[in-house]
Amino acid sequence: MKALIVVDIQNDFCEGGSLAVKDANQIIDVANSMIKHFNQNNFLVVATKDWHPSTHKSFASNSNGAIGDIGTLNGLPQVWWPDHCIENTYGSEFHPDLTEIKTIIYKGTDLEIDSYSGFFDN
C-alpha cells in the first residue's frame, strides 16, 4: 500500500500564525497536487495535526519559561513554545487552501508530554 502523510499544515505554522515557518505557504500547492494524485489512485492520505489543550505544559505561558528557552518537562529536555495549535481554534485548523483531508492523526493532546511525531509521543 502507498500512503501520503501530510504533516501539520495548520494556520499557526503558516504565514501569520503564532509559530509560523518561513515560506510555509509555498508548500500548499505541492501538497494539494500530491493529495490529488494519491486520492485519484486510491492510495491512503493521512494528515497530522498539532492539537494542544490550552494548558499544554510545553507552552512558555504555562511553564514559567521564556519562548525558545529549554527546560525540562517530565524529565525530558523541552523547548518552551509560544501558544500554538490550541484545539478547536483557528490556529489549529488546516490552512484554508489545503485540499480536503479525510483521515487525521491528532498529536500533542496530552498536556504533560510534547509530541513532534504522528507515530509516538516524546
Query: Tens of pLDDT along 63-100?
Result: 999 999 999 999 999 999 999 999 999 999 999 999 98
Q: At the top level of CATH, which class does the domain 3-53+83-107 belong to?
A: alpha beta
pTM of the model: 0.93
Query: Average of pLDDT values for 99-113?
Result: 94
Q: Give domain limits for the chain.
A: 3-53+83-107
> What digits encode the pLDDT tens for the residues 16-70?
999 999 999 999 999 999 999 999 999 999 999 999 999 999 999 999 999 999 9
pLDDT band, residue 120 (cuts 50/70/90): confident
Three-state SS string across the chain, please? CCEEEEECCEHHHCCCCCCCCCCHHHHHHHHHHHHHHHHHCCCEEEEEEECECCCCCCEHHHHCCCCCCEEEECCEEEECECCCCECCCHHHCECCCCCCCCEEEEECCCCCCCCCCCCCCC
